[in-house]
Amino acid sequence: MPNSAKSKKMIVYDNLKRRIITNALKPGDPLNEGILSKELKISKTPVREALQQLEKKGLVENIPGKGAFVSRFSFQDIRELFEIRDILECEVIRRVASKGDLNLAEAQAIRDKFAASDANGGRTGKSYFSAGDQIHSFIFAAWGNRKLIREYQGLQEQIVRITLHFFNQNRQERAAESFKEHLEIIDALIARDPVRAEKAIRIHLQNSLEYLKSVI
């Protein structure tokens, strides 16, 4: 019975998390236990438990007297997220670019896929953002610290959600800049230049934060 209850909670959790991250459920949308249990054909208990777990992840907020809602973005939330990214990504990319056993063939394949995403999906398509995320994920995978990879995966869920929400407004100018910045990041890695790589990712993060500041 405990295993059954746990699996039901995870089914609800995974369903809601995916919908929140992809903006199918938007910031501020209500999350009513009764409505969700009917929609998902499941009892209220696993729904309540899933909402509690999503609240711990920062994807749901509970307002006393009103109920649960998809969490909203404040600029402070985004700024703090980018501070964490700056600390982690700048340090990790510098170390990865210095590695003697960096898989250059894999890095080149990721670069080629990213370049192709520009032609295939356009700069506002999900495939384009997914390909860009792959560059950031590759950096952590190349370093190989499993605990750090898990932490970054949780961070990346928030990044994807913010990106899809704010870039879903056909901001072509920023998309074009972001494309060039990602190419510079992966090119610096392929060149195995730690100073260039760290500078490239810091510029990308600074520009992304400034863009988000301008649209919030």
Number of compact structural domains in the chain:
2
Q: Which element (helix H / strand E) includes 9?
A: helix 2-21
Tell me the per-residue pLDDT of 63-87, one tens digit each, with 9 for 90 and over: 999 999 999 989 999 999 999 999 9
Same domain, 102 and 209: yes
Same domain, 91 and 185: yes
The tally of CA atoms less than 13 A away on the side-chain side of residue 99 is 19
Q: What is the CATH number of the domain that holds 51?
A: 1.10.10.10
Residue scoring higher pLDDT (124 or 28): 28
| Domain end (from 70, 96, 112) | 70
Same domain, 22 and 120: no
Q: What is the rounded average pLDDT for all residues in the chain?
A: 89
Q: What is the CATH number of the domain that holds 207?
A: 1.20.120.530
Q: What are the C-alpha distances in Å from 122 to residues 111, 113, 202, 204?
A: 16, 13, 25, 19
Same domain, 102 and 184: yes
**55-59, 91-95, 125-129, 207-211 — most confident range:** 91-95
- Tell me the residue range of the domain where 97 lies: 75-215
Same domain, 160 and 117: yes
**Cα distance between residue 173 and residue 170, in whole Å:** 9
Same domain, 107 and 128: yes
Residue 150 has pLDDT above 70, yes or no: yes
| Domain end (from 22, 50, 70) | 70
| Domain end (from 70, 95, 128) | 70
Tell me the per-residue pLDDT of 174-215, one tens digit each, with 9 for 90 and over: 888 989 999 999 999 999 999 999 999 999 999 999 999 988
* Tokens standing for residue 24: 């199918």
Same domain, 119 and 197: yes
The whole-number pLDDT of residue 120 equals 54
Same domain, 124 and 80: yes
The whole-number pLDDT of residue 164 equals 84
Same domain, 28 and 100: no
Same domain, 135 and 90: yes
Angle at 19 between CA 71 and CA 183, to 5 degrees: 90
Residue 12 has pLDDT above 80, yes or no: yes
Same domain, 65 and 79: no
Least confident of 89-93, 116-120, 173-177: 116-120
